[in-house]
Amino acid sequence: ADDSTKHWMDLIRRHQMMCSNLDRELEVGRKELHHAQKRAVDVEGQIEKHAVELSEENAKYFAALEEVKIREGRIAEVEKLVGKAEAKLAQQQSLYDSVCADRNLYSKSLIDCNAEIEEIKKKFKMAFHRIEQLKDEVRSKEAKLMKAHFEKNKMTRGNARVRESLESAQERIEGLESI
């Protein structure tokens, strides 16, 4: 975009220089025309004698007018180029403004998303901490349950030995009673 703008700015400078040159040349042509007309008044009495000179001056005048028309055409072309360059510059400025607006919108969206991510991280840490607490509670309860289970099994084995002892004692009592 900078090269294009530089190119158009160079064209505009050249156009301005051409315009200045054309203005000077036009002024020179006008002065020549004015000089020719002044001479025509001065030599009015000698018209026939100087008819050839007058004809030459008229030719120069019309050639200058033709040159002015040609240069005005060139000026119009340069002005069209300048107009196109200005339109393109305006379009590029519009695109730049659009990109800036999009960037600002995306930046705000990013900030919002980062805030939301931080909030989710906080909730996740809290949930993770709660899960760890629950795991610790479950481990503690499992340990108590296993201890109670071992105690029950110990009691059951103790009860079985007592039952066996009792049965054995009853058999002996019955054996002694039958004697």
CA separation, residue 46 to residues 43, 51, 154 (Å): 5, 8, 155
Residue 111 has pLDDT above 70, yes or no: yes
Number of domains in the chain: 1
Query: Which residue range is the domain that position 162 belongs to?
Result: 2-178
**Can you list the alpha helix ranges (DSSP code H) found in the chain?**
2-42, 51-178
Output the six-digit token pair for 70.
């040609």
Question: Which residues are CB-contacts of 32 (< 8 A; sequence separation ≥ 6)?
Answer: 57, 60, 61, 64
Q: How far is CA 8 from CA 12, 43, 75, in A?
A: 6, 51, 15
Q: List the Cα angle 162/163/166 in 5-degree steps.
A: 85
Alpha-carbon distance of 22 to 28, in angstroms, equals 10
**Burial class of 138 by CB neighbour count within 10 A (0 to 12, 13 to 18, 19+):** exposed
Determine the straight-line distance between the first and last CA of the chain, rounded to whole angstroms: 127
d(CA 165, CA 176): 16
- CA–CA distances in Å: residue 61 to residues 25, 40, 57: 12, 14, 6
Q: Which of 160, 178, 4, 171 is nearest to 89 (CA)?
A: 4
pTM summary value: 0.38
pLDDT in tens, 36-65: 888 877 756 665 666 777 688 899 999 999
Mean pLDDT of the chain: 90
Write the pLDDT tens digit of every residue in 117-166: 999 999 999 999 999 999 999 999 999 999 999 999 999 999 999 999 98
